[in-house]
Amino acid sequence: MSELFNGAIKPKSIKTYAFWFLVGSQHLYGEDTLRQVDAHAKEMVDELNKSGLLPCAVVFKPVLTTPEAITRIMREASNAPECAGVITWMHTFSPSKMWIAGLSILNKPYCHLHTQFNRNIPDTEIDMDFMNLNQSAHGDREHGFIGARMRLPRKIIVGYWRDDPVVMQLASWMRSAAGAAFSRDLKVVRFGDNMRQVAVTEGDKVEAQIKLGWQVNTWPVGDLVGEMSRVTEADIDGQLGAYARRYSAPSFDLPEIRYQAKEEIAIRRILEAEGASAYSNTFEDLHGMEQLPGLASQDLMAQGYGYGGEGDWKTSAMVAVVKAMTEGMPGGTSFMEDYTYDLTPGRELSLGAHMLEVCPSLAADKPRIEVHALGIGSRKPPARLVFEGHPGSATAATLVDMGGRLRLIVAEVEAVKPIYQMPNLPVARVMWRSLPSFAEAAKCWILVGGAHHTVFSYDADVAMLEDWAEIMGVEFVRIGDGTSYESLKRELFAADLAWKLR
């Protein structure tokens, strides 16, 4: 089982996805012009790929000049498993009735890049030939109209294609689109049901599968216990070696740590066997287990697996999706819970943590393994990772089932170095300031029904999550800089009516 201890074992890397660059034109301009369009498009694709800013490859496709060619490429894009989206750009004018058949069958995310091959107008050299080749300014307006007329959800990026801010917007959208592809393949293993009487962790799993692709199913805790009984002492020694490379501990060879290692190996074997990238469990259903998985769940999250406590399969799946979207980014992403506040006027802070399960990808310094008693779950003291989250801008996202539709709520926060030492707090902790202010943010969060569980990410910003929500067709609410309770209330009233009409 040595491959189990290699670190990254995410079932599907973001690098496996690619985006097709579709450039429109028409036959009006002659073969010379079309050859130039092709050459320019190829140069753009090469430079975009060489920029080092994009998470996935952009794939050049020959210039499109007929309805038949456009329909054919859209059918191919829709059927190609590795194609996570298309990027369109009209170097010249491309009459958009030619695009109707193709766009109507496209089932992949769609980005309209409004740019121009040349940055500047060549003052002394400009003539009608130049004008006829470089007419994105009106070609992309014709293309934009058909997207609007067909009511197609699409990302619109505007700016010069060599400029980093433009390429970064494209990179962010590619991550959202790859997250959508990952979402459509996602399987979630539930060990037991969700916590008794809790409302927000409930939800319509059929609706979630229709909308988001998530296959959410239950496995008995007894199966997990059975898998644990097949873990050998040698397997556990190997897992302790992995812990020793990533974390610190006074001693790694403690029975509590060995037990967490056994749990981790068994959970991972079940996830691998099922092709699942996320799981949930609950302290209320640990029959046959001595410890609630703590270190085990934390280390699995660090490898890219989604996790949700108290049977929270929606947050678990969202953790997996956001981790997949943000692969290779430096900040970190975790399951999180709003735990307690520090209410000094004007400097209000939230302390985020969980009973045990916060991902060490958030850590400011090397996490340390500690063993402490746990007040709930009636089990033995579990080993867990203890650390502080690092400072930086972050988002806290929650997906709730509103009955008839899913709503993704994203709050903008500013994580700070925790202002207290908290030496007796035996769990990982993150401290943050909410935007626009503590009171406004919390009022809005409660108004829109945000859960106490979130996906906390330094890497996924509002734009990335909003684009993902638009691609998946779920409602999106942002709470952050500039948000006001009064205007959000009016926005929600209108949105509620609109969603009922859809």
Which residues are at the interface with Mn ion (CB under 5 A)?
309-310, 337
**Which tokens in the block code for residue 65?**
């000049």
**Which tokens in the block code for residue 56?**
């996935």
For the bound state, the minimum distance from the C-beta of residue 155 to Mn ion, rounded and expressed in Å, comes to: 34
**Which tokens in the block code for residue 379?**
């089990």
Residue 139 or 309 with smaller CB distance to Mn ion: 309
Residue 179 or 360 with smaller CB distance to Mn ion: 360
For the bound state, the minimum distance from the C-beta of residue 195 to Mn ion, rounded and expressed in Å, comes to: 8
For the bound state, the minimum distance from the C-beta of residue 355 to Mn ion, rounded and expressed in Å, comes to: 7
How far apart are alpha carbons 323 and 333 in whole angstroms? 6
For the bound state, the minimum distance from the C-beta of residue 24 to Mn ion, rounded and expressed in Å, comes to: 50
CA distances, 279 to each of 147, 202, 262, 361 (Å): 38, 15, 17, 18
Q: How many CB atoms lie within 10 A of CB 283?
A: 19
For the bound state, the minimum distance from the C-beta of residue 339 to Mn ion, rounded and expressed in Å, comes to: 9
Cα torsion 386, 310, 460, 156 to 10°: value is: 180
Residue 310 or 475 with smaller CB distance to Mn ion: 310
Please, what sign has the CA dihedral across residues 299, 456, 157, 90? positive
Which residues, including other chains, have CB under 8 Å from residue 281's CB and lie 6 or more apart?
190, 191, 192, 221, 292, 293, 297, 309, 311
Q: What angle do CA 276, 278, 279 make, to 5 degrees?
A: 105
Residue 94 or 201 with smaller CB distance to Mn ion: 201
For the bound state, the minimum distance from the C-beta of residue 310 to Mn ion, rounded and expressed in Å, comes to: 5
Residue 145 or 341 with smaller CB distance to Mn ion: 341
How far apart are alpha carbons 242 and 253 in whole angstroms? 12
Q: Residue 220's closest CA among 232, 212, 228?
A: 228
CA distances, 104 to each of 108, 146, 471, 502 (Å): 11, 11, 15, 18
Amino acid at 37: V
How far apart are alpha carbons 32 and 81 in whole angstroms? 34
For the bound state, the minimum distance from the C-beta of residue 223 to Mn ion, rounded and expressed in Å, comes to: 24
**Which tokens in the block code for residue 262?**
């056994």
For the bound state, the minimum distance from the C-beta of residue 378 to Mn ion, rounded and expressed in Å, comes to: 17
Residue 312 or 467 with smaller CB distance to Mn ion: 312
For the bound state, the minimum distance from the C-beta of residue 164 to Mn ion, rounded and expressed in Å, comes to: 39
Q: How many CB atoms lie within 10 A of CB 317?
A: 29
Residue 309 or 389 with smaller CB distance to Mn ion: 309
Please return the burial class of 392, using the count of CB atoms within 10 Å of its CB with bins 0-12, 13-18 and 19+: middle
Residue 60 or 279 with smaller CB distance to Mn ion: 279
Residue 33 or 281 with smaller CB distance to Mn ion: 281
For the bound state, the minimum distance from the C-beta of residue 377 to Mn ion, rounded and expressed in Å, comes to: 12
Q: How many CB atoms lie within 10 A of CB 7?
A: 11
Q: How many residues does the chain have?
A: 502
Please, what sign has the CA dihedral across residues 453, 463, 207, 319? negative
**Which tokens in the block code for residue 466?**
């909003």
Residue 154 or 453 with smaller CB distance to Mn ion: 453
